[in-house]
Structure 1
Amino acid sequence: MRTTEIDLDPAGRVRAALPSEMQRRSRIMEKVRHVYLRTARDTVLQGHFEGLMADLTERREPDAAVDVEARAELLEGNILVVLGESGAGKTTAIRRLLSKHPLSPNYGRQVVGCVALTVRVPSPCSVGELGRTVLRATGYKIGRSRISGPETWGIVRERLQALGVLVLHLDEFQDAHLTLNVDEQMKLRHLLRSLLVDEDYPIVLIVSGQPSFETFLRPDRSSVRRGRWQAFGKLSLPADGGAVTKAVAALAGVAGLTVAGDFGHAVFPRLVHAGCNLLGITIEEIHDAIRYAIEHDRKELDLGCFADAFAFRTGNLAPWNPYLASDYLTVDPTRVLAMSNPPPPDEPSGRRKSRKARG
Structure 2
Amino acid sequence: MSSEVALPPDEPADRPANSIPINKLLRRVRRMFLPPPAYDLLAKTFDRLLGVMGLVPGPDIEIPARNSDARNAEGDQLADDDYDDDDDDLDADEEADRPEGRILVLIGETGAGKSRSLKRLFRQRREIVEEVLVSVVAPSPCTLMQLGRKMLPELGYPIQRDRKEHLIWEDVRRRIDAQGVRIVHIDEMQHVTQTANVDQKKRILNTIKSLIQGREKPMLLVLSGTCELADFLRTDGQVRRRCKFVELKRLSIEGDVDLIADTLEDLIELTPLKLEHTVVEDLAARLIHGANYALGITMEIACDAIEEAFLEGSGKLRPSHFAEVYRSRSGCPNSSNPFLAVGWRETDPQQVLDRPRADIEPTNPKASKSAPPAVRKPKKPAGKQGKTK
Distance 1:119 1:72, change over 3 A: farther
Distance 1:52 1:263 in 2: 44
Distance 1:341 1:248, change over 3 A: same
1:318 shift after superposition: 1.3
Distance 1:295 1:277 in 2: 27
TM-score, normalization: structure 2?
Answer: 0.73
Distance 1:295 1:19, change over 3 A: closer
> Does 1:308 pair with 2:330?
no
CA contact (8 A) 1:57 1:74 kept: no
1:191 shift after superposition: 0.8
Using CA pairs under 8 Å that are at least 6 residues apart, name the structure with larger relative contact order, 1 or 2.
Answer: 2
TM-score, normalization: structure 1?
Answer: 0.79
Give 5+ residue unaligned stretches, structure 1.
Answer: 1-17, 65-70, 107-112, 347-359
Distance 1:62 1:75, change over 3 A: farther
Distance 2:96 2:148 in 1: 23
> Does 1:119 pair with 2:146?
no
Q: Which residue in the other structure is 2:91 paired with?
A: none
How many matched pairs?
312
CA contact (8 A) 1:124 1:177 kept: no
> Does 1:96 pair with 2:93?
no
- The residue correspondences of 1:297-336 to structure 2 (distance < 5 A) are 297-336=313-352
CA contact (8 A) 1:77 1:203 kept: yes
Distance 2:37 2:279 in 1: 23
Distance 1:194 1:87, change over 3 A: same
1:205 aligned counterpart, secondary structure? strand
Q: Which residue in the other structure is 1:132 paired with?
A: 149
1:190 aligned partner, one-letter code: N
Distance 1:62 1:270 in 2: 62
Q: Which residue in the other structure is 1:24 paired with?
A: 21
For residues 293-343 of structure 1, give each alpha carbon's deviation from its aligned partner in whole angstroms, at most 9, with x where no partner exists.
1111222222122112222343333112110011111212222332x779x
Match of 1:81 among 94, 105, 108: 105
Q: Which residue in the other structure is 2:376 paired with?
A: none
Distance 1:40 1:151, change over 3 A: same
Distance 1:185 1:284 in 2: 34
1:21 shift after superposition: 4.8
Distance 1:298 1:96 in 2: 33
Match of 2:85 among 58, 63, 83: 63
Distance 1:333 1:153, change over 3 A: same
Match of 1:278 among 294, 301, 305: 294
Q: CA RMSD in A?
A: 2.8
Match of 2:50 among 49, 53, 67: 53
Distance 1:116 1:310, change over 3 A: same
Distance 1:226 1:341 in 2: 43
Q: Which residue in the other structure is 1:349 paired with?
A: none
1:92 shift after superposition: 0.9
1:207 aligned counterpart, secondary structure? strand
Q: Which has the larger radius of gyration?
A: 2
Distance 1:75 1:103, change over 3 A: farther
1:240 shift after superposition: 1.4
CA contact (8 A) 2:257 2:281 kept: no
Distance 2:196 2:29 in 1: 40
Distance 1:290 1:50 in 2: 36
Q: Which residue in the other structure is 2:78 paired with?
A: none
Distance 1:186 1:62 in 2: 42
CA contact (8 A) 1:52 1:77 kept: no
Give 5+ residue unaligned stretches, structure 2.
Answer: 6-19, 58-82, 87-94, 363-389
Q: Which residue in the other structure is 1:238 paired with?
A: 254
- The residue correspondences of 1:163-174 to structure 2 (distance < 5 A) are 163-174=179-190
CA contact (8 A) 2:129 2:183 kept: no
Distance 2:291 2:34 in 1: 15
1:53 aligned partner, one-letter code: L
Distance 2:328 2:231 in 1: 39
> Does 1:292 pair with 2:289?
no
Distance 1:78 1:149, change over 3 A: same
CA contact (8 A) 1:175 1:212 kept: no
1:27 shift after superposition: 1.4
1:50 aligned partner, one-letter code: D
2:38 aligned counterpart, secondary structure? helix
